[in-house]
Amino acid sequence: MDAMIPVCIFTHSGAALRLPWAVRGVLVVGLIPVVCQDGGDPLPPHVLGWLASEGVEVRTTNFPRRGNLNGIECAAGICRELEAACIRHGSSHAIKLDDDTLIGDPQVFLNWLQFAAIGLTWSEGSRPGAYGLAYCLSRQTAAQVAASLEAWPEIDETAPEDLTIWWLAKHCGPCLDQPFATRSGAWSAMPHGSDAQDALARFSVLTVGNVPAGGWKDRDRQIAGELRRLVEHLAQRRQRGRNARRTGRAQIRG
C-alpha cells in the first residue's frame, strides 16, 4: 500500500484544463493532492468548485512566482508549503509536483524516505541539480532550506526554484539523485501522441510539458489531453493489479 504523502501541485489560472487531471493522477496512486494556486493568478471558480466537490485541499500562495517559479522568495515559499503540508498531514516528507507531470509509480520516492531529499536529475551531470517537475523533501529539509533562503542577503529574482532548493538541500543531509535513463528508469519527458501504456511501463515519472513536434496550438488543452491518456491508462493498470491480487488471494483460500 502506498504511503499517504502530500503532493503539492503549484498551479495557476492558465492550467485550468490540465490541473484536474494532474490531481486525478495523484489520487490514482494513493497520494494526497494539495493544490497550491497562485494568489496573483488564481484558478477559475468552476475548477475550484470541482476541487471542493472532490475534497481536495486548496492553498492560495502569495509569494512572487516570477513566471516559471523563479526567485529566492519563490523557492522559500515552495519549501514553506512543503513543510506545512507535512505538518498538516503528519508526514515525514512532501512532494512538489508540476501541473504537467504524472507520478506513475510513487515508489520512485517512497522507497527512499530515509533521504533528506529525492530528486530527478540528468544522467550525464551537465545540469547540477534536480528538475522541478517532481522532487521530494523531508519536513526538516524543507524547513532548513526555507530558513536559509529567508536569510539570504540578496534577492535574486532569476534563481530557478529547482536548482536553488536542490543546492541547499545537499547541505541538509544525504540526498538521492534519480537520474534520467533513455530506455527506462525514474523519469522521462513523454512526446505528445506516443504510447502512454508503454511510457508508464518504462518510467516512474512522466512530464508532458515539453513542446510537441507541431508546436503549441492550445497549450493547456494539449497538455490536459496527454495527462488524461496517462491517468486513464494508469487507473486501468492499477485496477488490473488489484483484481489479480484478489484472484490470487481467493485461489489461496480455495
pLDDT at 152: 87
Burial of residue 253 (number of CB atoms within 10 Å: 0-12, 13-18, 19+):
exposed
Q: Is the dihedral of CA 56, 3, 165, 160 positive or negative?
A: negative
pLDDT at 189: 94
pLDDT at 125: 59
**Which positions of the chain have pLDDT values less than 50?**
1-2
Q: What is the pTM of this model?
A: 0.93
Runs of H (alpha helix) within the chain: 19-28, 45-53, 72-89, 107-110, 139-150, 161-169, 196-202, 219-253
pLDDT at 157: 87
Q: Which fold has domain 6-180?
A: Spore Coat Polysaccharide Biosynthesis Protein SpsA; Chain A (3.90.550)
pLDDT at 1: 42
List, for residues 87-133, the tens digit of each pLDDT value. Answer: 999 999 999 999 999 999 999 999 999 999 999 998 665 677 889 99
Task: Report the chain's mean pLDDT, rounded to a whole number.
Answer: 92
